């Protein structure tokens, strides 16, 4: 009860004032019309409550019960509304902490957590792949058309990448014009097929705000666990492969290959 009053001070104060008013009004009526005589009469052994009096008391009791029930239902409803709002706020905060606000994709923190889980699962024989995707010529779009156009281009690219990826894979924006795709349970051949789909999706005209633009990408791939046993190793090797792809000066897909040791 005390907690309910503390959480709802204004309604509780209103209810308290209403109750005091009713009690004062009742006391004044009792004094004015000598209603205490009724109580004295009831204390006499021979006095019996009439049917009319019984009906009046029953109605009064029913009204009191109804008023308390309405009050309780209102409190329960307010509590439910507060709980729904609180859960919604928690979900929003959780999404803000794990997703990129511009594209709605997972962010770097979410990718790092998923990558750690993927590496751990490889101990049971599962095979995965990490794609790092860096857009080619994105700075030119920003410089020529402005950052608002650049943001819309990033959103369009995110849509293309989602269409090329599988529903089970995790697509993330790492910042700027760099994206990452974590693909689960696949071999090198399947990873190459997904990489080809990404290149086709990004190596064609993209319409943004009535303007048709072409933007390619450099894609580096590291296989899990073949190319590393820690998240840092996997990301580093995918990054090295991506920079090899960028040196080709066109949309390219490069898998990380460990350096050969000359005998």
* Two tokens, residue 47: 């006095």
- d(CA 39, CA 258) in angstroms, rounded, equals 100
Long-range contacts of 114-121 (CB under 8 A, 24+ apart): 114/170, 114/182, 115/182, 115/231, 115/234, 115/235, 116/231, 118/182, 118/184, 118/224, 119/224, 119/225, 119/228, 119/229, 119/230, 119/231, 119/234
Catalytic site includes residue 177: yes
Q: How far is CA 166 from CA 29, 61, 134, 206, 207, in A?
A: 78, 66, 19, 21, 23
DSSP states of 46-89 = T----HHHHHHHHHHHHHHHHHHHHHHHHHHHHHHHHHHHHHHH
Q: Where are the beta strands (DSSP E) in 105-169?
A: 128-135
* Two tokens, residue 138: 């994105």
DSSP states of 192-248 = HHHHHHHHHHHSSEEEETTEEEE--EEEEEEEETTT-SSHHHHHHHHHHHHHHHHTT
| Catalytic annotation, pick one of 143, 177, 203, 239 | 177
Which residues are identified as catalytic? 177
């Amino acid at each position: 009860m005390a907690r309910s009053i503390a959480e709802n001070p204004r309604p509780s104060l209103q209810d308290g004032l209403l109750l005091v008013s009713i009690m004062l009004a009742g006391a004044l009526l009792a004094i004015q019309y000598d209603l205490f005589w009724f109580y004295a009469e009831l204390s006499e052994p021979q006095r019996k409550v009439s049917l009319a009096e019984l009906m009046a008391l029953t109605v009064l009791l029913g009204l009191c019960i109804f008023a308390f029930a309405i009050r309780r239902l209102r409190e329960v409803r307010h509590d439910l509304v507060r709980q729904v709002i609180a859960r919604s706020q928690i979900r929003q905060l959780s999404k803000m902490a794990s997703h990129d606000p511009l594209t709605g994709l997972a962010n770097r923190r979410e990718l790092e957590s998923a990558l750690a889980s993927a590496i751990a699962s490889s101990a049971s024989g599962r095979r995965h792949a990490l794609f790092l995707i860096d857009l080619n010529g994105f700075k030119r779009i920003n410089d020529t058309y402005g950052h608002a156009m650049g943001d819309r281009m990033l959103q369009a690219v995110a849509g293309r990448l989602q269409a090329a990826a599988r529903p089970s894979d995790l697509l993330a924006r790492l910042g700027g014009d760099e994206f990452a795709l974590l693909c689960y349970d696949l071999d090198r051949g399947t990873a190459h097929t997904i990489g080809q789909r990404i290149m086709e999706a990004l190596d064609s005209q993209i319409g943004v705000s009535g303007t048709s633009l072409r933007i390619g990408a450099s894609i580096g791939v590291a296989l899990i666990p073949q190319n590393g046993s820690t998240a840092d190793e996997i990301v580093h090797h995918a990054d090295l492969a991506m920079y090899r792809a960028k040196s080709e000066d066109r949309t390219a897909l490069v898998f990380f290959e460990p350096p050969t040791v000359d005998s």
